[in-house]
Amino acid sequence: MSKIRFEQVSLQFQGTTHPAINHCSCEIDSAELVVILGPSGCGKTTLLKMVNRLYEPDSGKIYLGNTEIRQISATQLRRQMGYVIQKSGLFPHMSVAENIAVVPKLLGWSRGKIQSRIDELLELVKLSPTEYRHRYPSQLSGGQQQRVGIARALAGNPEVMLMDEPFGAIDAITRESLQEELSRLQRQVNKTILFVSHDVEEALHLADRILILQQGEIVQFDTPYNILTQPKNEFVHNLVGADDQVRQLSLLRVETAMSPIPPNHQPCEGQTIARYENLRQALSLILATGASMLTVLDDGKAVGVLTLESIRDAAKTGSKSA
């Protein structure tokens, strides 16, 4: 069942000659992470902001579940959605705990429930409650601020999360770490997430499906694998770098190419990889360590092995189990 549905949605800003969003129709499934991808000015953030009514469409309808969002007051609608922006948007005069507590207080939660939720969310985003709950945003690194921003967006336990280039202003190493954290969180909390990005690698890594916009129109909405291997037109082909075979490895999970554990096999330190990681990561680890074989783990338990030959075979067959 779809959680968010766009029906022929259009919006043109005053004083412009072309629509920012032009007759967009699509459905986002419940618990799906959809990345909205495209070049600057294509309408990504505009489309996102229409979901929580920061912008109102000129025509068309947007549904949350079976309810047209204009039937819900803007305030009530926004309390049902988490919202994360590029520079965290934390209130500088509030502590970490006070920032996270904003929505639960508006929802009328008890003090005990709020305090428990603060600690739960800080643990979830890998920040120690005793160390961080009383700090202020100025006392946090950029990555820590974004973690608190995600915790705040989750505080009211919304079913929908809107994320507008949340990692765009962070250095590459921290950005990669936060992308991994978001993937881990999504496996735990299963929210419906709309995530705006201009970074192709980020989109391929995070998305269940990618919605590609060009000049306010949806040109392709499909899985990362299908977009990379079956781009709809030259624009999509060039945008995602469809000829990059190493990039395609990032869409194939280790578990799709692993083999059974051979007799008397002993894992070597530094030569293991989780089953849900991708073959591009596995290839990098093999090249870095010189290992002939990686041990594949599931929650710390060996469940298979992976070799360079099996990665090569998977690349040739283009398994669609990613």
Domain with 23, as residue range(s), is: 1-80+160-172+190-241
Domain tally, the chain: 2
Does 44 fall in a domain? yes
Q: Do residues 205 and 59 both lie within one domain? A: yes
Does 72 fall in a domain? yes
Q: Do residues 13 and 59 both lie within one domain? A: yes
**Residue 318's pLDDT is what?**
61
Q: pTM here?
A: 0.84
Percent of the chain with pLDDT over 90: 70
Q: Do residues 264 and 229 both lie within one domain? A: no
Q: Do residues 234 and 305 both lie within one domain? A: no
**Residue 319's pLDDT is what?**
42
pLDDT tier, 235 (very low <50, low <70, confident <90, very high otherwise): very high
Residue 204 CA to residue 186 CA, distance in Å, equals: 15
pLDDT above 60: residue 321: no
Q: Do residues 1 and 75 both lie within one domain? A: yes
